[in-house]
Amino acid sequence: MSTEPAFDAGAPWQLHPSVAVRAERFGALLYHFGTRRLSFLKDRRLLDVVEHLACHPSALDACRAAGVQPPEQAAFTVALARLAEGDMLVPGGPR
């Protein structure tokens, strides 16, 4: 619906510190206390990616570690870009 946001999957990212995550059978719920927005993750691997972003040097590495296959990567990148657009993810680095 909007233009493709600038999201570099090769860069390090992390969850915004004001975001709470709740795992659900369908995936997960994310709630941002700052923007007061709710998002839904519809894939448990995406939850895995999001929760471990900060442990990896790039979003792509986090996806690989979560078992995302190359043909699926584009869809995961779009999902991550949307989360970054909503401030759920912020630029970060491995700790």
Partner 1 sequence: MTLAPAAAIAPVRRSGSQRAPGGGLIEHFERGLDAPICLTWELTYACNLACVHCLSSSGRRDPRELTTAEARAVIDELQAMGVFYVNIGGGEPTVRGDFWELVDYATDHRVGVKFSTNGSRITLAVARRLAASDYVDVQLSLDGATAEVNDAVRGPGSYAVVLRAMENLATAGFAGFKLSVVVTRHNVTQLDQLEALADHHGAQLRLTRLRPSGRGAAVWGELHVLPSQQRALYDWLVARGEQVLTGDSFFHLAGYGASLPGLDLCGAGRVVCLIDPVGDVYACPFAIHPQFLAGNVRDPGGFAGVWRTSELFTDLRRPQSSGACASCGHFGGCRGGCMAAKFFTGLPLDGPDPECVLGHGAAALAALDPGAEIPTPAADHSRRERHRAAGATRVPVAFGAPARARGRAHRPVSACDESPLAGLAPPDEPEWARALTPPDRPGSSVAPS
Interface ranges with partner 1 (CB under 8 A): 1, 18, 20, 22, 24-26, 29, 31, 33-34, 36-40, 42, 86
Q: What stretch of H or E contains 77?
A: helix 70-85
d(CA 47, CA 83): 12
Nearer to partner 1, 42 or 94 (CB): 42
Q: Does residue 63 sit in helix, strand or coil?
A: helix
Tokens of 63: 């996806």
Smallest distance, partner 1 to C-beta of residue 85, A: 9
Nearer to partner 1, 65 or 75 (CB): 75
d(CA 3, CA 6): 9
Nearer to partner 1, 37 or 67 (CB): 37
Smallest distance, partner 1 to C-beta of residue 84, A: 12
